[in-house]
Homo-oligomer: A and B are copies of this chain.
Amino acid sequence: MMSRTPSLKTVASAVGVSVATVSNAYNKPEHLSAALRERIFATARELGYAGPDAAARSLRSGRTGAIGVLSTTELPYAFTDPYCATFLAGLAEVVEQHQNSMLLMPLASRISAAPAQVQASVEAVRNAVIDGVVIDGIDDGHPALEVVINRGLPRVRSTDDPASRCVLIEDQAAARQLGAYLAAFGHRDVALIAASTDEPGTIRAVADDRTLYPYARLRLRGLREGLASAARVSVIAAGPNRAEDARVAAGRLLRGHPRPTAIVATSDVFALGVLAALQELDLRPGLDVSVTGFDDIPAAAAAGLTTVRQPIREKGRLMGRMLLDPSLTEQRIVLSAELVTRISTGPAPSANPGI
């Protein structure tokens, strides 16, 4: 009886009008008489026609009503990572206001490690039916980014790039301030626990910053500038942003000799792991060892963590607006970050009690 799923044509011939008219009934209701429009909708309902096909409509009209999201945080962790969840929430506000949907695409950040996964994310971007992309923290040259550029999709990045519109947070400047603050407290031996594209669970000292996530890299640079020659910085790459990895990494650092007097983490999530490690060893944050984070997630205040506050949600909102709100024409917006000092930092312990 029913010959496949009905299309515009089916409805058109059932009603006895042209396909264009049926199309207009859905898209320009004011361009045809109310009577006919109702007749069309009635027949459509009767035939079980659910409105114009989405793919065909996108193909012909060139619009899709969805924007893509590409983030360093791997999909399953995006929702539980406080930074990323806040960012997405800000973005979602704007997406909702503009009656769009958001397409989250899987992304392999670990370029070197998993070629098949990288290929998968390239495919995902290639096949994504979207009007534009918000790109949070992907390195220049990432194949998925290349596809976005090649496709000519409007894009907004959170990484400085003269070829793209972008929303930046003054990461590096804030980290510099943090470095100066620690230097003033007399810290001479600082360890940085940095998020990297290594497998979760990986913990290794690194000399260069190549495997670090872009944001971690900026923070390391800023920290070095702020500390200047006051302190030596050792860098531990500890996989993506999981508290557990930071706890283990900090445990090793704290048992090592000489013990760093300050541990800087590239995120609050990491810093909370560091605090856990201190507690296990009965060390007092701010007195025995200073600890700092980044982001100022809600849990940071509760833990008394010195950190750098960033307008994460606002960043999400602005990136969304750059894509969806034509009245926002800026090419490049810089948001400032702010050092928030709490009890987890203090003067470096004066001397090594062991000597």
Contacts and interface: CB of A to CB of B under 8 A. Distances in A.
A230 interface: no
A11 interface: no
Contacts of A78: 89, 92
B65 A89 contact: no
Contact of A86 (B57, B79, B100): B79
Contacts of A102: 75, 103-104
Contacts of A326: none
A208 interface: no
Please tell me how many copies of the chain the complex holds: 2
Given A51-B150, A65-B124, 20 more contacts: A50-B126, A50-B152, A53-B59, A54-B127, A55-B55, A65-B127, A65-B128, A75-B93, A76-B90, A76-B92, A78-B89, A78-B92, A80-B86, A96-B106, A99-B106, A99-B120, A99-B123, A101-B128, A104-B104, A129-B129
A54 B133 CA distance: 14
Contacts of A100: 106, 124
Interface size class on chain A is 35 or more
A120 B48 CA distance: 21
A5 interface: yes
Given A89-B77, A129-B54, A124 B106 contact: no
Contacts of A89: 76-80
A66 interface: yes
A57 B127 contact: yes
A5 B54 contact: no
A56 interface: yes
Which of A53, A77, A85, A129 is packed against the most chain B CB atoms within 10 Å? A129
Contacts of A85: 79-80, 85
Contacts of A123: 65, 99
A124 B101 contact: yes
A23 interface: no
Contact of A51 (B80, B120, B147): B147
A75 B54 contact: no
A5 B62 CA distance: 13
